[in-house]
Chain A
């Protein structure tokens, strides 16, 4: 609810910090989820998101005359965030992937909570072992809810290549989550 992205971007081009804060509020958490999934490190993810919005601020004038600014702006943010996160992993300093915050669910008993935590640990281990692009494909599909076409555009690859990344990533996660049912 509120101004559309294009209206906010127009205000940003006029130096409106409040409009900019609204854009960060609207897209920030989504981009954090995306970059955190790829990087597995909160500090690095926040650094990347900060850089994405810095570039958005600087690039704001180019969105003024874009008739499809709402969708285009959101897609642009995803694309820049994905690529910056992958680039970040290529840097030699590479901070280790950290454990995600523990999720306390008051509605479950201790045993099922323990099982959930054990499964989560296995899933995280499997995610860490994926390539950055496979993690990005998972994030764009499951966290961002993008279609294969939009995901491919965010990664700047063909739809076929994106689908291949997804197949390999899903296979790895499925195998990691397979349990002996007997």
Chain B
């Protein structure tokens, strides 16, 4: 294993020896004994990995406060669903069409239409 190969292994697998291929372990140990560059790279990777947990600290997390805010927000968001509005609109349209197609009960109008169809018109040409 060369320095470059070892550094590539670090970048690929990290600085934890248990994550390295078992077959490479003897060769990496030999390299670490002989190469200051390889040792420095390993130390740098292990340093970064050890500090990652500290760097991720985000302070105190108020789970109860968040849960309360979220349930309010979720209820607001689900109070009026856009789908319900669309469904109501479609229903209103259907009712409108249905009533619009229904014949009226105006007997005078029906009588005049029938008279016109029978040629009983008084219109002078």
B53: interface (CB < 8 Å) = yes
Residue numbers in A under 8 Å from B49 (CB-CB): 142
Asked if A54 and B10 make an inter-chain contact with CB atoms under 8 angstroms apart, the answer reads no
- Complexed CA–CA distance, A166 and B19 (Å): 14
Q: By CB atoms of chain A within 10 A, which of B10, B51, B69, B70 has the most?
A: B70
Residue numbers in B under 8 Å from A89 (CB-CB): none
| Interface residues in A22-55 (C-beta closer than 8 Å to B) | 24-25, 28-29, 32-33, 36-37, 42, 45-46, 49-50, 53-54
Chain B residue at smallest Cβ distance from A170: B11
Chain B residue at smallest Cβ distance from A173: B48
Number of interface residues of B (CB under 8 A): 37
- Complexed CA–CA distance, A124 and B51 (Å): 10
Asked if A50 and B73 make an inter-chain contact with CB atoms under 8 angstroms apart, the answer reads yes
A177: interface (CB < 8 Å) = yes
Asked if A57 and B70 make an inter-chain contact with CB atoms under 8 angstroms apart, the answer reads yes
Please tell me which one of the listed residues B12, B43, B63 contacts residue A167 in the complex, with CB atoms under 8 A apart.
B12
Q: Which B residues fall within an 8 A CB radius of A?
A: 7, 10-12, 14, 36, 39-41, 43-45, 47-49, 51-59, 61, 63-64, 66-71, 73-74, 77-78
Q: Which A residues fall within an 8 A CB radius of B?
A: 17, 20-21, 24-25, 28-29, 32-33, 36-37, 42, 45-46, 49-50, 53-54, 57-58, 100-101, 103, 116, 119-120, 123-124, 126-127, 138-139, 142-143, 163, 166-168, 170-171, 173-179, 181
